[in-house]
Structure formats: C-alpha cells, structure tokens
C-alpha cells in the first residue's frame, strides 16, 4: 500500500473466499481441507506477477494485491484466477476435490487504511457471491 501511495499507481486488492471448505472439512477431514487451502495458495502464486502479493488472511480467505492494476484490469485478473482455482481439483490422497472461490475486487487510493481496503474488498466479494447465488 505504501508503494501505491508513494508512486501514485493504481493498485487493487482481490479478496478470495473458498467455497464449501467447511463441507470438505466435515466430510473428508481437516487434512483434506488443508489440501484445498494449499491448492488455492499454489494456484494464486503460480498465476500472479513477481511484483504482486498473495497471502492467506485466515480460515478460507486469501488476498492478492495487484500493483499497477486499475479496477477493470483487476476484475479481469480476479475472474482469471477464480477460473484457475476451479480448473483443477485439489488432490488429497486418492481423491480429487472440486474447488471454487468467490472473489471481490477493490481498487484503492492514497490515504486509505489497510482495514478499510480489506473491508471494502470483503464486501465486494459478498456482493458478488450473493449476485451469483441469485442468478442460479
């Protein structure tokens, strides 16, 4: 965030929430849930630039910070990454576990706090998740 502010570059936060992790944990066990989390982390890391940052926020949530990415670019990347997560199932022992994630995008500017940015990206993720459920 300090880089974006110092150099006045468009920067976006992608907020990912893994769908159905509780069900995986409850039906296949926590080791299977851990395999899903590793799958998501590895997929995100494999498909971002070296200048971007990915991290697990906790539970089933991940954040990706995209420097030099305005809102339109961030939405394209978010959809791409969500597609990559779904494309390959997670492997656990002899099982393949389908994985999907909802993602929200927030492009932030100078002076915004990390808490506010995360809150807005989280809200965008939940708004998108609700819209997807309504469309089903």
Active site positions, annotated: 60
Q: Quickly tell me which residue has 């389908």 as its tokens.
A: 98
Rounded Cα gap, residues 100 and 103, in angstroms: 10
Chain centroid, CA 83 distance in Å? 11
As given in the structure block, the two tokens for residue 102 are 């909802």
Helix (H) or strand (E) holding 57: strand 53-58
């Amino acid at each position: 965030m300090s880089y974006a502010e110092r150099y006045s570059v468009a920067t976006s936060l992608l907020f990912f929430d893994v769908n159905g992790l509780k069900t995986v944990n409850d039906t296949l066990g926590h080791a299977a849930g851990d395999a899903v989390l590793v799958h998501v982390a590895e997929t995100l890391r494999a498909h971002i630039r070296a200048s971007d940052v990915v991290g697990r926020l906790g539970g089933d949530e991940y954040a990706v910070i995209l420097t030099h990415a305005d809102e339109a670019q961030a939405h394209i990347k978010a959809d791409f990454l969500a597609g990559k997560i779904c494309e390959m199932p997670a492997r656990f022992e002899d099982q393949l576990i389908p994985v999907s994630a909802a993602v929200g995008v927030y492009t932030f500017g100078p002076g915004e706090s990390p808490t506010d940015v995360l809150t807005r990206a989280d809200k965008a993720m939940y708004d998108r998740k609700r819209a997807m459920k309504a469309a089903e």
